[in-house]
Amino acid sequence: MKIAAVGEAFPAHYYTQERLLEEFRRVWSRRLFNQDRLEALHKNVLVGGRHLALPIDEYSKIENWGQANDAWIRVAQDVGEQAVRKALEQAGLEPAEVDCFIFVSVTGVATPSIDARLVNRLGLPSRVKRLPVFGLGCVAGAAGISRAADYVKAYTNEVVVLLSVELCSLTLQLQDLSIPNLISSGLFGDGAAAVVRVGSERRATGPRVIATRSVFYPDTERVMGWDISEKGFQVVLSAEVPEVVRRYLRKDVDEFLEDQGLSRKDIVSWVAHPGGPRVLTSLQEALELPAEALMLTRESLEQVGNLSSTSVLLVLQETMRRRRPEPGSLGMLLAMGPGFCSELVLLEW
């Protein structure tokens, strides 16, 4: 059960954090009187720039959720197709060989879902099994890898494609001046990533999934998520997120590894979702990791921001490209998200 390849795609519109802050200052100039607070929030997330689904001047023209969601459907197909094609090409596979297509997102909705809209564009076989998943948020990239691993356990000669598309900029509420929304305006970006998973009867050069674990935390539904109304997606982002990481993650990781006859000292590579600077600090402290263990995660946050479920897949891709561990060594891929919950994936490189 190996990961054969990861492909990525971004909208063409990339802006530095300074340019984005300038635009937010302009849009909110008559309503946000403490502009220094906005600048501080944007600088504190340590993001250098982000891709946006649309050119920056088009966002002020969006009048309702329907228009924002129409843009999500259009752009999600474009970047989703690019990401899947890249991943399949790297894996040496053709679209006609795909047996199962998993799609995850939390930034828009569509029926038929984006995976269905891509079947003809990609040339996927009519027999392909589709699994669209909405609502897992930041944890969905890791959870998608876990569910793909479950699938190829049963179908050992089949090919699974996991596609994550998150266009977070299309969820931003320009009427909302709450602290969570202001933080979101500086933290989240847009993009897509696709992972090709193959069963044990097929050859691949990527890491093997040894085991996975999902953990749900009771009474944490208001830690992170959306309030959805006629205006669209209203962010729920509690200041408790770093504390939840500190409270639960070490115990969860240790118990998971112990069940595999392992401990944290056996893990040489960490692929983590870049939730934000405070979350990463809490994660590093909870797991007692050296700073370099999360280097690629922090780089991803700086270069493109937090892309919700897509981010951990981008960190996985960079690990495979630039910091691939020694063959046979062990790694951990993990993310946390709405629920509140975590997903742990044990890898053998």
Question: Residues 230-233: contacts with CB within 8 Å, 24+ apart?
Answer: 230/64, 230/65, 231/64, 231/65, 231/173, 231/175, 232/64, 232/65, 232/68, 232/69, 232/171, 232/173, 233/65, 233/107, 233/171, 233/173
Q: Which of 198, 225, 246 delimits the end of a domain?
A: 198
Flag whether pLDDT at 87 surpasses 70. yes
pLDDT attached to residue 200? 75
Average pLDDT of the segment spanning 128-153: 96
Whether residues 150 and 212 fall in one domain: no
Whether residues 326 and 213 fall in one domain: yes
pLDDT attached to residue 214? 97
Whether residues 98 and 164 fall in one domain: yes
pLDDT attached to residue 339? 87
Whether residues 234 and 160 fall in one domain: no
Whether residues 186 and 231 fall in one domain: no
Question: Among all chains, which residue has been given the structure tokens 């983590």?
Answer: 272
Residue type, 218: P
**Does 308 map to a domain?**
yes
Whether residues 192 and 90 fall in one domain: yes
Burial call 152-189: b when 16+ CB within 10 Å, e when fewer:
beeeeebbbbbbbbbbbbbbbbeeebeeebbbbbbbbb
Flag whether pLDDT at 174 surpasses 90. no
Average pLDDT of the segment spanning 115-144: 97
Flag whether pLDDT at 33 surpasses 70. no
The encoded tokens of residue 115 equal 């995976």
**Does 7 map to a domain?**
yes
The mean pLDDT of the chain is 94
Whether residues 173 and 234 fall in one domain: no
CATH of the domain at 254: 3.40.47.10
Supply the range of the domain harboring residue 292.
Answer: 208-348
**Does 133 map to a domain?**
yes
- Give residue-wise pLDDT tens across range 277-326: 999 999 999 999 999 999 999 999 999 999 999 999 999 999 999 999 99
Q: Which of 163, 198, 233 delimits the end of a domain?
A: 198
Average pLDDT of the segment spanning 76-94: 97
Q: What percent of the chain has a predicted confidence (pLDDT) above 90?
A: 81
**Does 203 map to a domain?**
no
Lowest mean pLDDT among 55-59, 240-244, 261-265: 240-244
Lowest mean pLDDT among 23-27, 66-70, 261-265: 23-27
Q: Exposed/middle/buried for 216, CB within 10 Å: 0-12, 13-18, 19+?
A: exposed
Total number of domains in the chain: 2
Active site residue 168: no
**Does 95 map to a domain?**
yes
pLDDT attached to residue 54? 98
Catalytic residue among 100, 138, 168, 341: 138
**Does 246 map to a domain?**
yes
pLDDT attached to residue 324? 93
Q: Which of 165, 198, 231 delimits the end of a domain?
A: 198
pLDDT attached to residue 349? 95
Whether residues 153 and 294 fall in one domain: no
How many residues in the chain? 349
Q: Please tell me the distance from the alpha carbon of residue 206 to that of residue 327, in angstroms, as a whole number.
A: 10
Whether residues 183 and 241 fall in one domain: no
Q: Please tell me the distance from the alpha carbon of residue 195 to that of residue 179, in angstroms, as a whole number.
A: 34
